[in-house]
Amino acid sequence: MSNINACQFLADTVSTTLGPRGMDKLIHHGMDRITISNDGATIMKLLDVAHPAAALLVDIAKSQDAEIGDGTTSVVLIAVELMKMAKPFIEEGVHPQTVIQNYRLACQLCQQYINEMAYSVADKSDAERTDLLVKVAQTAMNSKLIASHREQFARMAVEAVQSLDEDLREDMIGIKQVTGGAMEESELIKGVAFKKSFSYAGFEQQPKRIPNPKICLLNLELELKNENSKAEVRITNPEQYQSIVDAEWSIIFTKLEKIVATGANVILSRLAIGDLATQYFADRNIFCAGRVTQEDLNRASKATGAQIQTSVNDITPSALGTCGLFEEKQVGAERYNFFTDCPQAKTASIILRGGASQFIEEAERSLHDAIMVVRRSVKNKAVVAGAGAIEMELSKRLREHSLTIAGKGQLIISAFAQALEVIPRQLSQNAGFDATDILDQLRQKHFTGFRWAGVDITNEGVCDAFERCIWEPSNMKRNALNAATEACCLILGIDETIKAPQSEQAPAPPRGGMGGMRGMMPGMRGGRGGMAPRGRR
């Protein structure tokens, strides 16, 4: 019971963030670090949850965020509501294993019902599929801080995902934050864009716009190294010292000459490119940038076809990449390098603009959720209606199924069905509606065969969520129900919490003297006739 009560307290914290009218949480952590968010996973991560059972809810929110990207608040609410509905059975003496067994049966039935009801888009044309994905992304953004710009950002998310290859790797979409400007100034780059790295002397003499460049990607340093080792070199005349100095310069110049010989006119390196190399490249009308992050270097490789080199020896023309245009532009207060019109652009970059840094950070989290949802929709190719419609339909079907079962299972599955109503109820409460009235209307609509009836946030009532284009990926609902049921069953299966005692190390005996003898005497830990150590009498 204490475990369930702890989880209930945690659910009360995030429940008000659900839905388009959900509220945000301002979380103050650290000295001056502030996060404003209504994303369930973000809030759960930042909360300092000490209770071991409640920590399970943090884990399922993280797993939902990693697997699907959205539905993190829903999964916590459903899990806690399932525990809440199980409390009366436990109090009346029903064995927890009976509840767990029937809960798992109900979850399996829900999976089957979702598969039956899911609307497949596999046979749709590309234009229809794109339109559907945009609506799915808009639904994911309805409850976010950038809901007023959801049309612009939903299309950005869809175009970014569609520019990826069949693996749909999330790290191939780079999201960059630039403080200043309006949200409408955010843009999608079908290619690579990253902030100008630290630059040495001679950087301003380099070209800032190169059509059809040849791009060389490196993972090595191009600068003179100061030898700080304790090696000792003995020389007999000054000319030998000069030969050592000349060798250092010869090594760096040989590297630079080999790079120039490849014909590349854009050089990017993950490690530093020093002032000597920067000026050397500037004199030959070549652009270079060092200390480029590994993530940006990988995306540049994917977009331009260049291969990352760890040596300057034998760089073949096939190892170089190209794009339609390279340019360096001012974005807000920052300088950015753009690689656009890439021949095999399997990557994309999104530059987010806005006022406060907290606002841009929340916009990035919202966009990340939308991108993840679109990725899952592209892979899964099936959607269901949101706005609480799918939960109410599952609840209705489970109630009908429970009437075919005799014994305790009938009541337990009926309780599972009632727990699913927490989503439309919370949506109504967060919008300021009468939740009881809305739920009564929804039950009546679903029992008369109106499958996609959901909460109408705009007009305070019931609407056809499918016609309103409130769509969500079917695998998001399946994953949420699975994770919530497993977390609930895990906590219900705990009958006692035991704190493992920590092993206490005996203090080391003092060296020499009587104390040392006393430490070696038998029976020193007390007992009959034993001698207690000093300080413990």
pLDDT digits (tens, 9 = 90+) for 427-454: 888 888 888 888 888 888 888 888 888 8
Beta bridge partners of 210: 326
**Residue 515 binned pLDDT confidence (cut-offs 50, 70, 90):** very low
The per-residue pLDDT for 526 is 44
Which comes out higher in pLDDT, residue 142 or 412? 412
The per-residue pLDDT for 229 is 59
The per-residue pLDDT for 321 is 85
Active site residue 73: yes
Burial class of residue 375, CB neighbours in 10 A (0-12, 13-18, 19+)? buried
Nearest in space to 22 (alpha carbons), one of 87, 93, 72, 69:
72
**Would you report the helix, strand and coil content of the chain in percent, each value rounded to 5?**
50, 15, 35
HEC assignment per residue over 234-290? CCCCHHHHHHHHHHHHHHHHHHHHHHHHCCCCEEEECCCECHHHHHHHHHCCCEEEC
Q: Rounded to whole angstroms, how far apart are CA atoms 440 and 438?
A: 5
Range in 239-253, 373-387, 401-415, 499-513 the model is least confident about: 499-513
Burial class of residue 467, CB neighbours in 10 A (0-12, 13-18, 19+)? exposed
The per-residue pLDDT for 522 is 43
* Residues 144-177: tens digit of each pLDDT: 777 777 788 888 888 888 877 777 777 778 888 8
The per-residue pLDDT for 22 is 79
Which comes out higher in pLDDT, residue 16 or 141? 16
Q: Rounded to whole angstroms, how far apart are CA atoms 183 and 271?
A: 34
Average pLDDT over residues 193-217: 82
Which one from 17, 35, 72, 278 is the annotated catalytic residue? 72
Residue 162, token pair as written in the block:
């569609």
Q: Rounded to whole angstroms, how far apart are CA atoms 485 and 479?
A: 10
Beta strand spans in 341-474 (E): 348-354, 382-385, 453-456, 461-464, 471-473
Q: Rounded to whole angstroms, how far apart are CA atoms 315 and 310?
A: 10
pLDDT at residue 299 above 70?
Answer: yes
Range in 45-54, 262-271, 311-320, 473-482 the model is least confident about: 45-54
Active site residue 495: no
* Phi, psi of 322, deg, nearest 5: -155, 165
* Residues 17-71: tens digit of each pLDDT: 887 777 878 888 776 778 887 777 788 778 877 787 788 888 888 888 777 777 7
Average pLDDT over residues 251-268: 86
Active site residue 369: yes
Average pLDDT over residues 107-118: 88
Largest Cα separation within the chain, whole Å, is 103
pLDDT at residue 528 above 50?
Answer: no
The per-residue pLDDT for 524 is 41
Which one from 35, 42, 73, 304 is the annotated catalytic residue? 73
Which one from 65, 70, 296, 369 is the annotated catalytic residue? 369
The per-residue pLDDT for 244 is 76
Beta bridge partners of 472: 384
The per-residue pLDDT for 505 is 53
Average pLDDT over residues 280-309: 86
Average pLDDT over residues 483-508: 75
Top-ranked range on mean pLDDT: pick from 3-7, 193-197, 265-269, 355-359:
265-269
Q: Rounded to whole angstroms, how far apart are CA atoms 495 and 368?
A: 39
pLDDT at residue 197 above 50?
Answer: yes
- Give DSSP secondary structure letters for 220-239: S-BSPPP--S------SSHH
Nearest in space to 124 (alpha carbons), one of 116, 115, 133:
133
Q: Rounded to whole angstroms, how far apart are CA atoms 104 and 374?
A: 29
The per-residue pLDDT for 509 is 53
Q: Rounded to whole angstroms, how far apart are CA atoms 470 and 473?
A: 11
Count CB neighbours of 242 within 10 A. Answer: 11
Domains of the chain plus CATH, in order, are: 2-120+384-492 (1.10.560.10), 126-190+350-380 (3.30.260.10), 192-344 (3.50.7.10)
Beta strand spans in 205-289 (E): 209-211, 214-218, 266-269, 287-289
Which one from 17, 39, 139, 456 is the annotated catalytic residue? 39
Q: Report the mean per-residue pLDDT for the chain.
A: 80
